[in-house]
Amino acid sequence: MIRSWIIFTCLFMTVVSEVLLSPFYPQFFTDFFQVNGLQATSLFIICCRIVVIIMTPIWGLLLKKWKIEKVSVYALVSISICKWMLSESSSFSMFLAFSLLLLVFQSCLYLLYPHLVSTSENKEKKAATYLLALNGGIILASLAGSFVISWEMPLVIYKFFACIDLIFAAVFARGMSGSKRVKDKEETVRSLFPKCLIGYLLAVFLFHIAHNMVRPYFTIFVSSEYGVDEWLNAVLYVMPSVMAIVLKFVLPPGTFKRSNMMHVLYGVLAFSSVVLIMQAFTSSLVFFIISRCLYGIGFYISLLIIDLYLFKQSNAETVSYYSWMLTAQNVGLLLAPLLALILVQNGKLHIPLIGGGMVLLAAVLSFIMAQQRLKFYKPVKENKG
């Protein structure tokens, strides 16, 4: 078996390579490819999300027949090749095409997380560790991106990531020797599953729309509003992720019990909504920094509770249920930049912050309504008698 820390390290490096230039896409596309940065950013993000939405369930079906470790080896080799080609892009069209091809294979790696949690007894620790790897990767990538973006040829960094992926492919190939696939002899009632989760998936969809509406044009908004340099801009961009890492070590294990976690979620989401809207109107850089910290606290707690509630309810069907949630999440991530583009057409870059806050309130209502009827169907043990 592949050790969990190796999987988390792989996911960490995947996040770093994916997020490295993303905070600066508008500037990068304009300066490097001589295209309209705002429109190119939205087109790029939308196309990438469509690929992930399509490929994730396909990989999910393949993993029912093959070991995830085996599939991941081939995926990592393919990812390495794609990243090497990405480093040679000379136009926006080439960069987009190679990125989409990369995501065809990288979508497989997204399922390592629910697979790892489903085979672990300490789900809260694994979920928190994943969020640590995720947010740590975002922080490192954003800060490093502010440096890489100043290079004459910033895309050359993807050759480094290509080599890293080959190393992980070798580690995975070695680790899967000796691991045996254990088939679950339990059957699951599936016929009513979509009806039971519809409200929950809608809430997850709104949650991710709200948080990702503000990201595509955040660095431009901060630059125009406060006139900060690229490094401080990157720090403000990753501030929520910094707070997530701090909370990982501050919050004691078992903080959120199943009986009260959803009530905590309602309050945290409402609080995050208010903080997000306040960011749109404040003219004080100090207050803006404080609000970003508070927003990061709310975002981390919300993500942790959403995952924990699903994992603690689903048990043996974690991967199956998570795939539904991942689909809802990526549909939200797909529509968020499109909504952001519509909102900034009039030149007011603070509008996505207000819109995100309002959508978060809608997510609270959706979670409340979903909680009234949300029922997960537990595995039914095979009748031996």
Q: Could you tell me the domains of the chain?
A: 1-183 (1.20.1250.20), 186-385 (1.20.1250.20)
Token duo for residue 245: 């890492």
- What per-residue confidence (pLDDT) applies to 188? 42
Q: What is the pTM of this model?
A: 0.76
pLDDT tens column, 21-46: 887 888 889 988 989 988 898 789 88
- What per-residue confidence (pLDDT) applies to 259? 63
CA–CA separation, 115 and 11 (whole Å): 13
Q: At CA 334, angle to CA 150 and CA 197, rounded to 5?
A: 140
- What per-residue confidence (pLDDT) applies to 184? 43
- Could you tell me how far CA 237 lies from the centroid of its own chain? 15
- What per-residue confidence (pLDDT) applies to 287? 94
Which parts of the chain sit beneath pLDDT 70? 1-2, 176-196, 253-254, 257-259, 313-320, 373-385
Token duo for residue 53: 């939405």
For 1-37, give one letter per residue: b (16+ CB within 10 A) or e.
ebebeebbebbbbbbbbbbbbbbbbbbbbeebbebeb
CA–CA separation, 375 and 355 (whole Å): 31
Dihedrals phi, psi of 380, to nearest 5 degrees: -100, 120
Cβ atoms of 87 and 159 within 8 Å: the answer is yes
CA–CA separation, 337 and 214 (whole Å): 8
**CA dist 31 → 24, 27, 162, 355 (Å):** 11, 6, 24, 29
